[in-house]
């Protein structure tokens, strides 16, 4: 497995965890706080520098279904 594949797998794992945890959170701030412990999965990816932006997209996608 190449380095790129490892990074990509970790990024996918991060967003899988995010989608599991998102329903447990009452606010976006709580969601970000809960996901900080998993931020290391983004190391080496472009998402690492835009951690909260990626989570905000997940938040919007999840809760837009209920508007």
Mapped onto helix, strand or coil, the DSSP state of residue 44 is coil
Residue 2 clears pLDDT 90, i.e. is over it: no
CA dist 17 → 1, 2, 20, 67 (Å): 22, 23, 5, 24
Q: What's the rounded Cα separation, in Å, for the pair 39 and 43?
A: 8
Predicted TM-score (pTM) of the model is 0.88
Domain ranges of the chain: 3-64
Query: Is residue 67's pLDDT more than 80?
Result: no
- What is the mean pLDDT of the segment spanning 60-64? 89
Give pLDDT tens digits for 7-57. Answer: 999 999 999 999 999 999 999 999 999 999 999 999 999 999 999 999 999
Query: d(Cα 52, Cα 31) in Å, to the nearest integer?
Result: 10
């Amino acid at each position: 497995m190449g380095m790129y594949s490892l990074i990509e797998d970790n990024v996918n794992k991060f967003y899988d965890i995010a989608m599991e945890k998102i329903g447990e959170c009452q606010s976006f701030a709580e969601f970000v706080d809960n996901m900080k412990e998993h931020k290391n999965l983004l190391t080496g990816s472009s998402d690492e520098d835009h951690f909260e932006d990626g989570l905000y997209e997940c938040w919007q996608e999840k809760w837009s279904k209920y508007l």
